[in-house]
Each structure stands twice: as structure tokens, then as C-alpha cells.
Amino acid sequence: MGVMEILYVLLLLCSVLILVRVCTTSPLIVVRRRVLVDTSILMDGRVLGVARTGLIGDYLLVLDSTLKEMQLLADGSDSEKRTRARAGMATLEKLKEINGLKIRVISTPARVKRVDDALLIVAKRRNAMIMTNDFNLGQVAHAEGIKTINMNDLGQNLRVEHLPGEKVALNLTQKGSGPRQAVGYLEDGTMVVVDDAEEYVGERVEVEVTRFFQTQAGRMMFAKLVRKASGNGRRKQQPA
């Protein structure tokens, strides 16, 4: 073997030794997934179930302006939005209890007035995905190359929790928009409109699901009253 061949072999061995040294002493690069959520997601109770599966990732980011927006809704005069916003604040507290999920409150960029604009800016800066039920925000994020998760799209690919004909206990929280209707919410935030139940607002009743709607704007159920879930168990008399 000539001198050049020996030098070449020695150089090759040195390169291998250096590579082995680097691989065994350098820490592994771990990519942490970050998901930025907006008000619509925090007010959607389904996010708890998704987070508990570990699908969200390592960090759940929330803008301080998102929290302020939700607080304004919780203190507002619109009863439906007030109820959903307060439920959203409770959901955030439950998210903090999930092992392995870190909640980070992020400052809104200076001089950015619109929350949606702030979400897009922060998502780009932190290489984060945006989780939202806002169809328009999702479209803009997609156009700007930001990955998004839409809870309603995810829900459309999963089995409906309550099918027509199933019975469920429900707290009626307010009157509905139609005559004699009452409204309640499932744990996942789904609004349930119950016919002929206005007199039971403020009580817990048993209802039977009659119809179910899933749209890009969210989901809604219609139901009929079966009986009060607690008390003497009397059935509501239906008009002849």
C-alpha cells in the first residue's frame, strides 16, 4: 500500500471517529410542537378530550388578548355568549391540570389591534399551529402557510356522541328563541334546544335527542322533554 493510500485511510478513520464523538456527546434535538388557540376553541369543550389524548402537543399557547376577549364576553349582556365564555375560562383551568401539556400565555405583539392578526403573527414567529373554529381565520392562515386544526372538521370525522333517540340529562340554562323552548349545553359545549321546556329553565331534566346538525359553524342538537332528571320523576304532559 502506497503512502497516499495510507494517508487516505487514516483521514477516513479520523472522520469516522469525529462523527462518533459528536453523535455520542451532543444532545438530541427534540422538536416541540406548539399549538396556538383562539377564543372559539377555549369555548369549545371538546378541546379537553383532544388534549387528554396528547394530540395537541407539548405546548398550548394562549394570547393575553384572547383571554381579555373571553373575559369581556363573560361579563357581557349576551346570555349565550356569557355562558359559553365562562365555560371557556373553566376549560382553560382544566387544561392546566393535564399532565404533559404546558400552557403558555403569550403577550400580544405591540400595535396589533385585531386578535386574528396577532394570532397569525405569533404563529409565524413561534412556528406554531393555530387551532380555531373560525373558518375565515383558518383560510387566511392556510394562505400564509400556517398549519391549522379546525375542531369542527375534526368532529365531522368522528362519531356523534348522542344520536337521535338517545336520552341525556341536561341543565336548562335559558329560554330559547322559539316559543316555549329552553336551551342547555352538553359538557363538550354543544347547544341543545329543547321544545316545550321553557317552564323548566334552571332545572335539570332528561331529554331525548331528536335532531343533530354539524356544520362549519359548529354543532347543535334539538330534543324533546322526557321528564325531570331529579325529583318526583313526573313526565311533562304533552298537549293533545
pLDDT tens digits in sequence order for the chain, 240 residues long: 565 555 555 555 555 555 555 445 545 444 568 999 999 999 988 898 888 888 787 899 999 999 999 999 999 888 888 998 999 999 999 999 998 899 999 999 988 889 999 999 999 999 999 999 999 999 999 999 999 989 888 776 665 667 888 999 999 999 998 999 999 998 777 889 999 999 999 999 999 999 988 766 567 899 999 976 554 444 444 444
Whole-number Å distance between alpha carbons of 216 and 9: 64
101 assigned to some structural domain = yes
- Cα 220 to chain centroid distance, Å, stands at 16
The domain of 210 spans 167-228
Closest CA to 86 of 78, 94, 97, 75: 75
- Cα 111 to chain centroid distance, Å, stands at 27
Specify the CATH number for the domain of residue 191: 2.40.50
Written as nine digits, the cell of 24 is 455520542
Residues 114 and 49 in one domain: yes
Q: What are phi and psi of 157, to 5 degrees?
A: -100, 5
Residue pair 75/165 in contact by the 8 Å Cβ criterion:
no
Question: What pLDDT was estimated at residue 184?
Answer: 94
Question: What pLDDT was estimated at residue 143?
Answer: 94
Cβ-in-10-Å burial (0-12, 13-18, 19+) of 97 comes to exposed
Residues 49 and 125 in one domain: yes
Question: What pLDDT was estimated at residue 236?
Answer: 44
- String of b and e for 190-214 (b: at least 16 CB within 10 Å)? bbbbbbbbbebbebebbbebeebee
Residue pair 131/47 in contact by the 8 Å Cβ criterion:
yes
Rounded (10°) angle between helices 79-95 and 64-74: 140
Residues 99 and 132 in one domain: yes
In single-letter form, the type of residue at position 53 comes to: T
Whole-number Å distance between alpha carbons of 179 and 33: 48
Residues 60 and 149 in one domain: yes
Residues 146 and 104 in one domain: yes
Residues 98 and 195 in one domain: no
